[in-house]
């Protein structure tokens, strides 16, 4: 008898990104070893009180670190690669 899968979209999807990344991944080790919260204190004096909110300094530093580790020399290339790689996300 031939089977046929009937696809039905699920209302709720249980998915956690961290479950999909191997335990020996270099970015997972970096996340466990480095606390980037010190950047908020160090960069506070460079941000004004008015205008649009900027990118989070921790996110920016992590993007630059990923660019360095992946040997990416362009901000646009960093954003493109990070968007496609789950381990960097």
pLDDT tens per residue, range 16-37:
877 888 889 999 999 899 999 9
Residue 62: predicted pLDDT: 92
Residue 4: predicted pLDDT: 66
Extract the residue ranges of the chain whose pLDDT is less than 50.
1
Residue 80: predicted pLDDT: 94
Identify whether 85 is part of a domain: yes
Identify whether 24 is part of a domain: no
* Pair of tokens at residue 36: 């980037």
Q: What is the residue range of 63's domain?
A: 36-47+54-89
* Pair of tokens at residue 3: 């089977």
Identify whether 62 is part of a domain: yes
Identify whether 69 is part of a domain: yes
CA atoms in the 13 A half-sphere facing the CB of 23:
0
pTM of the model: 0.74
Residue 2: predicted pLDDT: 55
CB distance 82 to 63 below 8 Å: yes
Identify whether 61 is part of a domain: yes
Identify whether 80 is part of a domain: yes
Identify whether 89 is part of a domain: yes
């Amino acid at each position: 008898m031939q089977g046929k899968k009937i696809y039905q979209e699920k209302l709720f999807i249980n998915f956690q990104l961290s479950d999909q990344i191997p335990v020996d991944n270099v970015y997972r080790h970096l996340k466990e070893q480095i606390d980037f919260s010190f950047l908020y204190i160090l960069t506070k004096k460079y941000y004004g009180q008015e205008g649009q909110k900027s990118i989070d300094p921790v996110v920016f530093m992590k993007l630059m670190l990923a660019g360095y580790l992946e040997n990416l020399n362009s901000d646009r290339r960093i954003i493109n690669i990070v968007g496609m790689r789950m381990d960097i996300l």
